[in-house]
Structure 1
Amino acid sequence: MLGYGLKGSKEFRNNVALKQVGLQGNICGEFVELSVNQVYENIGEQNIDGIYSFPIPDTAVITGFEATLGGRTLKAMVEDQKEAAKLYDEAVLKGINTLSLEEPNSGMFQFSIGQILPGESVKIKLSYMDRLIYENDSLKLVVPAILAPRSIEHNSKQENYIQDNYKVSLNLLIEPLSKLKIESPTHDIKIEWEEDINLAKVTFSDDLFSLDKDLVLIMKEEKLQEASGMIYKYQEDGEEKGILYLRFIPKLTSSEEEKPNNYMFLVDISESMQGEKLEEAKNALQLCIRNLSEGDSFNIVAFSSELEYFSEFGKVPFNEDNLKRASEWIEKLSAKGGSNILEALKYSLSESNLIGHSTVLLFTDDMMEDENEIIEYVDKNIGDNRLFTFGIDTSANSYMINKLANVGFGRPEFIYEDERIDDVILRQFSRIENPQVDITEIDWGEVKVESTYPRTIDYLYDREPFAIFAKVSGNITGKVTVKGKVDEKEYIKSIDLDSLDLEENAQLILKVWSRNRIESIDEHLKGERGSTAEAMHNKIIELSRESGIISTATSFVMLEQMEDLVLGMPITRIIPLKASEQTIKNIADAKFIESPGFVYKSANKIISNNERNNLLLDKKYPREAILRILALNQYADGSFSNINEEDNYKKIATTASVLLGFTMGKEDILLYMNQLNKSIKYLLQSIQKNSNEYDVPLYTITALALKAALEKDILKGTMEMLVQDSIEMIKTKLVGKSSEMVLKILNSSIRSSLKDIARCLFKVSKDGKYIEEVLNIKDEKNSIDSLAKLSILKAL
């Protein structure tokens, strides 16, 4: 487990005590800014070189850092990268001591704060901004445990901790978009609501003397609003200004039958894709084709110097035979030669225009020659097709990736080092497959809008929270209306600005606006060159310095303030901060638009009669990896089973187990929604067609899987009603035959307990404390049932 704390020499742990921890923050809508204030004291007799170690969410942005010790205060400031590098070089030449910021592990940062004298106290304040996890109409905040001072043994990776007591306080203001039910499953909290305004203050109920486990806060919206927002007003140059923050969560359904679609996948297999990049791209293709539905057609073209076709005769229908053949073909792909993107695009668009429009997905990591020729060809020949481009790794020609998507009526995505290729591709493909709102107009009514983020809005995606920010001036009144179409149906959502809360203290919204503006300009910069690109680069530096938010064009320096004892006045100077380009990039590149998660690990021990075997499985297969393996082994009919399984009973049971494995965890599974809905269809059809094969255990696991899917809110179209009907039918079959626990879960209107479901599925020890399950996984394709059980156990 990671936490905030100091570390130092071997003797350090006996010399430094953590005295106080204060958590202060503000939540506005789905955004949070949190400050962690800590006080340490050197209780030893020697000077100590201190290093402050802290984790932040992998999507968070540092908004402040201060350290006060020995009569001086160090405060982080944002500076142009070139200027910061110049200051550092000058300091080295003059022999000035510099400070350092390092990232020894992913998501864990270390900051050197210099020597701590005996009896001296150190006050540290770290602030960061993030977007909260949104799932099942709830927002989730996680604050890592606060660790006591630690040391790292010489020539060892082992870290030693002191678990001493320290005073802990919490002061969190919550300004929600709608009425919330606030609770913490980890700590006792006190909630005070302001009577006149929609504002909550959250504190700890009792005095705490350590924060030795993560603080988790769940904020559930009492009534989901598809459109909501808030306003933050401020003065700028004597003029009334404001930031409008509007949030949309479309929940789309289509009453029409699913329309068959045509897909063309173009994948780069040139030499530059050699190794892990190609393997991940192949996995992404495997997942993409498993997201296809009955009636769809597809083809795959691998391009290097020459083209290789999955089907030499054009697109083929999606069925079990073609899925199997395509899977085998993808596995055999290997990197070779150059990259002939133009010929791949010519083939895909000419073939598509002959048989009807297609969705074309292009995956490449290569620079492109003859840019104008390629853009001109796509522009003239795109027709009713859509082209989605994916630039893999930073070597990709970002200018070209953007322009091709623009003229191809699609959207570009960039996959950088250390990002999973298949995650990005699958999330985008899931959006393509699901209903979406094609935006035709945003009517701002009476509001005077200076600029917006995003600058243009083309789509709203099903069940994905989408935030629109607008910098406005003058009188903020009237309505803002978003107009669009879902298929051929009109989509209109209006927000009455006069009914929105006026957040006087929500400076966080202004910071979020600045962060989004920086990210927006940085994204558009990839498609520009020359003087335009230079102007955009300079604007990023300006916004970054003004807001104090790090960017790809800036870095940190430290402002030191100390009292001159002779003159009796403060002295201020700049101290350069040594930080690697990669460390600064990792901080600046936080994907603020994606769902956050803390980079820490906790042991999920699986108790069984075969302890050693299951502990090995626990280490080898983290839940995220298991879900990916399961997703790669779905059949065209939606079932999951061991390879070549012909027993219907086993196929149904394994499919239900896999569905439980996905839906009972805490992960974001929206990217698997198409596959899971296919598995639900398979289960519903099996109940109708194979009812003679069902016994009490099979009915039980099927009903529990359908109930979990219903609670996870992943069902599309009319599926929700069909699932509810099937659960009611199964309940009548189980009355008097099944355990009271199963019927209690099926009748419950609240989210089922993982432990309760596990007790219904697995053998439990006599004392009722442990689940006894022996799992042996050797060949993954022949162990899908065991992997499904392991995924459920690891969710506990």
Structure 2
Amino acid sequence: MAEEFVKSVEDGLKLSKRVYFGKDRSVVPPKPISMEKSEQQSQSHHHLIPTAPIFYAVISDPGIVDNPDCPSYQPHVHGRCDPPVLIPLQMNNISVEVDCYLDTAFVTLTGSWRVHCVMGSRSCDCRLVIPMGEQGSILGVEVDVSRRSFSTQLVTMEGQTDTDKPQTKQEDGWFLKPQIYTLTIPQVDGGSNFSVKVSWSQKLLYDAGQLTLNVPFDFPEYVSPAGKKFAKREKIQLNVNSGTASEVLCKTTSHPFKETRRQVGKLGFLYEADVLTWSSTNISFSYMVSSSDTLGGLLLQSPSVHDLDQRDIFCMFLFPGNNNSKKVFRKQVVFLVDSSESMRGTPLENVRNALNAALSKLNPEDSFNIIAFNGETYLFSSSLELATKETIERALQWISINFIAGGGTNILLPLNQAMEMLSNTSDTVPLIFLITDGSVEDERHICDVMKKHMENKGPISPRISTFGIGKFCNHYFLQMLALIGRGYYDAALELDAIEVRMQRLFTAASNIILTNITIDCFEHLEAFEAYPSHIPDLSSGCPLIVSGRYQGKFPDALKARGTKADLSNFVIDLKLQRAKDIPLEKVCVKQQINLLTAQAWLSQSKHLEVKVAKMSIQFGFSSEYTRMILLQTEEGKQGIQSVDIQEIPNKGDMQKLVDSRSRKVSLLKGLGIGFGDLDATTKNIFPGFGEPQLPEIAGEVFINAASSCCTKLANCCCCYCCIRVCSRMNDQCMIALTQLLTALACLGCLSCCDVCSSD
């Protein structure tokens, strides 16, 4: 998908040369990128992948491309653009507000664009592309244009299977890349100005006690308004509420922010300026909670009047602090690496590189083993090996020889082998890392088996961390497995992200400084519900956050207890605070939705599915059981506002709603990642984020074979060229061509008959 998008933008920039703005300036393709940036973006013109929210005009008819204010003479253009090209629209102003709470940021972006490249008498679709930060989740889009307004909303799809869902066009609400969402606004008139408001949530990165925000805000030069240079206003407002009673220290900033507020645990900044060119730097901001030791607290909040769950809300957090000298538990780790046929090439190569980096970070007193698995298992050693320099070198050599893709996928066998290896452990927390790109039929059985292992081994049971590659593995199975194993979960939906995210997972899951954590009085509360249900270990690589609902009353003094790496007891006072200015339910709901969805999958509970759908709609976070729709309202018409569309009882009603022109409702693509694809795993289809790469069909093989004939005929007409031409002909042309070829064939036959008769 991304390659097709880049090609459309590249063609759109060429087509935009038709737009003439007088002697001041015309729209031109972007300037050549620097050598340093070129090396980073060398593949497939990645510099054309948006690094900030951008609107594009979707052009199928190149003849409509012109200056809407002063039409110029344009040569006639024959044909249509298939697929349509994308011309970046000019941006008039931009403003961003970011609110950071604990480890989550909520971003609201407002701006305005102009359809500067389409005749005033014509119209085109406009596509909005929204890049988001770490684990971005789109919350809503609002667009006002030409007496019309558009807004997104989540609805339930109860009683509707995948085969029943109405078909939508590819561009109707889909992900260009895992963190880049795109949405199409239909039929916007040339010369129109329109305003946009977009909101999303994303995670803050944590490293060595420092939290970092990174918001895409790097605009290309070609979105600047054409004509004489004039000042443009850009604004960034940044608010930080750490939720702690400690001082917050600002470390680094990307823009010249001015401090507007400083209180205990809170910071406020503002950047506002008139600029000649839009920002070419992402919004980056790093801060640290002033504490060298472990810092903890408990935030409490009463539910709002409109909350479907009227139990009180709690959020317990532990920050590991910035003391790098803290002792971590000795590691006993087994890596389970999927080497099935679908991992061939880039996926397995990237996993190999990440595993090499993980092995290099082991200490000599740590021990490890590696199991490659497909339908069978291949062990580096029959038992755990100390991570000496010589052993790691042997392991790296073994990986280079034995990581050969082939066969199917069997996950239970290597898991049981790893459990057996880690059965005799002391003064350590044993670790299992499972890396896979596929789904298997016995996933629920695997979860049941692992539950029994955990119950038998007690508090020193192995911690299972999971890593999913691509979209064909069941990510909710992997999350449930990590929940059962009190470990961590992460994923790389794109192959380029495998190395970075795997190393991040290993750092977070292996540097454990506190285990067997318990909180006083949790068991004495009524109607208590926590996410995750078992408190994970505290790692030096990331904060620990547990949230949920309860009835009753917390005591004034509360303590968290655990075991340190030297096996001594750890106790910390948790300060209770009423979170008056932190939307706890929104900060924690995404984690809750993901874990509840995993539980709903495991238990096959319709009750939990309904619960997830209601939470999704109430707080605006997408889920597997809701779909997003685009509502269109015309000024002066009240039809859509009077309709309650928060719940669609069945597929028939949804289809009527989508098909009703008076209501102007469009059903968008689902935002969920699904529950894996057994068929794709069985067929060993290459993992990836885009559409599945199915085996070549006969027609595709024929076209590929035919393509080589062009070079033999001096680029003249050949079978491949004919195929391409015929695929773009209308019915009348095809009939005429068929008749012509038939006539020529008949003439050939007559000539042959003459020759034969003369003989």
TM-score class, shorter-chain normalisation, is 0.5 to 0.7
State the identity as a percent: 16
Q: Contact 1:68 / 1:74 at 8 angstroms: preserved in 2?
A: yes
Q: Note closer, same or farther for the CA distance 1:162–1:322 as it changes in structure 2 (3 Å cut).
A: farther
In the alignment, what sits opposite 1:279? 349
The residue type equivalent to 1:535 in the other structure is: H
> Per-residue CA shift, 1:200-245, capped at 9, x if unaligned?
5433365556542333334444456712454444443799865333
> Aligned equivalents of 1:147 and 1:400: distance in 2?
39
Unaligned runs of 5+ in 1: 153-158, 590-796
In the alignment, what sits opposite 2:529? 451
Q: Contact 1:560 / 1:574 at 8 angstroms: preserved in 2?
A: yes
Within-5 A mapping of 1:515-534: 515-526=590-601, 528-530=602-604, 532=605, 534=606
The residue type equivalent to 1:166 in the other structure is: K
In the alignment, what sits opposite 1:535? 607
Confirm or deny that 1:291 pairs with 2:370: no
Q: Note closer, same or farther for the CA distance 1:19–1:524 as it changes in structure 2 (3 Å cut).
A: same
Q: CA deviation at 1:40?
A: 3.3
Q: Note closer, same or farther for the CA distance 1:162–1:307 as it changes in structure 2 (3 Å cut).
A: farther
Within-5 A mapping of 1:300-339: 300-304=370-374, 306-311=376-381, 314-333=383-402, 334-337=404-407
In the alignment, what sits opposite 1:121? 193
In the alignment, what sits opposite 1:248? 318
1:72 corresponds to which of 141, 148, 153 = 148
Q: Contact 1:63 / 1:549 at 8 angstroms: preserved in 2?
A: yes
SS at 2:635 equivalent? strand
Within-5 A mapping of 1:714-725: none
2:234 corresponds to which of 157, 168, 183 = 168
SS at 1:100 equivalent? coil
> Aligned equivalents of 2:150 and 2:571: distance in 1?
51
Q: CA deviation at 1:33?
A: 1.7
In the alignment, what sits opposite 2:572? 493
In the alignment, what sits opposite 1:212? 279
SS at 2:570 equivalent? strand
Q: Contact 1:436 / 1:460 at 8 angstroms: preserved in 2?
A: yes
The residue type equivalent to 2:320 in the other structure is: P
In the alignment, what sits opposite 2:217? 145
> Per-residue CA shift, 1:751-771, capped at 9, x if unaligned?
xxxxxxxxxxxxxxxxxxxxx
Q: Note closer, same or farther for the CA distance 1:441–1:176 as it changes in structure 2 (3 Å cut).
A: closer
> Per-residue CA shift, 1:323-374, capped at 9, x if unaligned?
2222222111123445666665665555665898965555554626598699
Q: Note closer, same or farther for the CA distance 1:105–1:284 as it changes in structure 2 (3 Å cut).
A: closer
In the alignment, what sits opposite 1:512? 587
Q: CA deviation at 1:108?
A: 3.3
The residue type equivalent to 2:592 in the other structure is: R
Confirm or deny that 1:190 pairs with 2:258: yes
In the alignment, what sits opposite 2:269? 202
> Aligned equivalents of 1:79 and 1:267: distance in 2?
39
Stretch moving more, 284-293 or 83-92: 83-92
Q: Note closer, same or farther for the CA distance 1:163–1:392 as it changes in structure 2 (3 Å cut).
A: farther
Q: CA deviation at 1:124?
A: 0.9
> Aligned equivalents of 1:198 and 1:348: distance in 2?
44
> Aligned equivalents of 1:576 and 1:149: distance in 2?
35
Q: CA deviation at 1:77?
A: 0.2
Q: Contact 2:171 / 2:184 at 8 angstroms: preserved in 1?
A: yes
Q: Note closer, same or farther for the CA distance 1:73–1:587 as it changes in structure 2 (3 Å cut).
A: farther
> Aligned equivalents of 2:568 and 2:486: distance in 1?
21
2:540 corresponds to which of 443, 446, 462 = 462
Confirm or deny that 1:6 pairs with 2:6: no
Q: Note closer, same or farther for the CA distance 1:166–1:115 as it changes in structure 2 (3 Å cut).
A: farther
Q: Note closer, same or farther for the CA distance 1:433–1:473 as it changes in structure 2 (3 Å cut).
A: closer
Q: CA deviation at 1:535?
A: 2.5
The residue type equivalent to 2:624 in the other structure is: T
The residue type equivalent to 1:282 in the other structure is: R
> Aligned equivalents of 1:568 and 1:374: distance in 2?
49
Q: Contact 2:466 / 2:482 at 8 angstroms: preserved in 1?
A: no
Q: Note closer, same or farther for the CA distance 1:316–1:186 as it changes in structure 2 (3 Å cut).
A: closer
Within-5 A mapping of 1:277-676: 277-304=347-374, 306-311=376-381, 314-333=383-402, 334-337=404-407, 344=414, 359-364=431-436, 365=438, 367=440, 379=452, 386=462, 388=464, 390=466, 392-393=468-469, 411=487, 413=489, 415=491, 417-418=493-494, 420-423=497-500, 425-431=502-508, 433-444=510-521, 450-472=528-550, 478-487=556-565, 488-497=567-576, 500=577, 502-504=579-581, 506-507=582-583, 509-526=584-601, 528-530=602-604, 532=605, 534-564=606-636, 574-577=663-666, 579-581=668-670, 584-585=671-672
Q: Note closer, same or farther for the CA distance 1:306–1:25 as it changes in structure 2 (3 Å cut).
A: closer
> Aligned equivalents of 1:376 and 1:32: distance in 2?
38
TM-score (norm 1): 0.59
SS at 1:125 equivalent? strand
Q: Note closer, same or farther for the CA distance 1:187–1:522 as it changes in structure 2 (3 Å cut).
A: same
Q: Contact 2:206 / 2:541 at 8 angstroms: preserved in 1?
A: no
Q: CA deviation at 1:433?
A: 4.2
The residue type equivalent to 2:109 in the other structure is: V
> Aligned equivalents of 2:254 and 2:297: distance in 1?
29
Q: Contact 2:142 / 2:150 at 8 angstroms: preserved in 1?
A: yes
Q: CA deviation at 1:62?
A: 1.4
**Would you say how many aligned residue pairs link Structure 1 and Structure 2?**
566
In the alignment, what sits opposite 2:136? 60
> Aligned equivalents of 1:176 and 1:373: distance in 2?
39
Confirm or deny that 1:23 pairs with 2:100: no
SS at 1:540 equivalent? helix
Within-5 A mapping of 1:75-94: 75-81=151-157
Q: Note closer, same or farther for the CA distance 1:578–1:199 as it changes in structure 2 (3 Å cut).
A: same
SS at 1:202 equivalent? strand
Q: Note closer, same or farther for the CA distance 1:13–1:146 as it changes in structure 2 (3 Å cut).
A: farther
The residue type equivalent to 1:324 in the other structure is: E
> Aligned equivalents of 1:301 and 1:198: distance in 2?
46
SS at 1:564 equivalent? coil
> Aligned equivalents of 2:232 and 2:627: distance in 1?
34
Q: Note closer, same or farther for the CA distance 1:520–1:307 as it changes in structure 2 (3 Å cut).
A: closer
Unaligned runs of 5+ in 2: 1-49, 70-88, 644-661, 677-759
Q: Note closer, same or farther for the CA distance 1:400–1:119 as it changes in structure 2 (3 Å cut).
A: closer
Stretch moving more, 463-472 or 393-402: 393-402
> Per-residue CA shift, 1:498-524, capped at 9, x if unaligned?
xx36424x33x3212322221221233
In the alignment, what sits opposite 2:110? 37
> Aligned equivalents of 1:363 and 1:244: distance in 2?
33
The residue type equivalent to 1:20 in the other structure is: N
Q: Note closer, same or farther for the CA distance 1:66–1:306 as it changes in structure 2 (3 Å cut).
A: closer
Q: Contact 2:138 / 2:201 at 8 angstroms: preserved in 1?
A: yes
Q: CA deviation at 1:23?
A: 2.4
Stretch moving more, 568-577 or 28-37: 568-577
The residue type equivalent to 1:491 in the other structure is: F
> Aligned equivalents of 1:575 and 1:75: distance in 2?
11
Q: Contact 1:283 / 1:422 at 8 angstroms: preserved in 2?
A: yes
Q: Note closer, same or farther for the CA distance 1:66–1:220 as it changes in structure 2 (3 Å cut).
A: same
Q: Contact 2:248 / 2:267 at 8 angstroms: preserved in 1?
A: no
SS at 1:289 equivalent? helix
Q: Note closer, same or farther for the CA distance 1:204–1:105 as it changes in structure 2 (3 Å cut).
A: same
TM-score (norm 2): 0.62
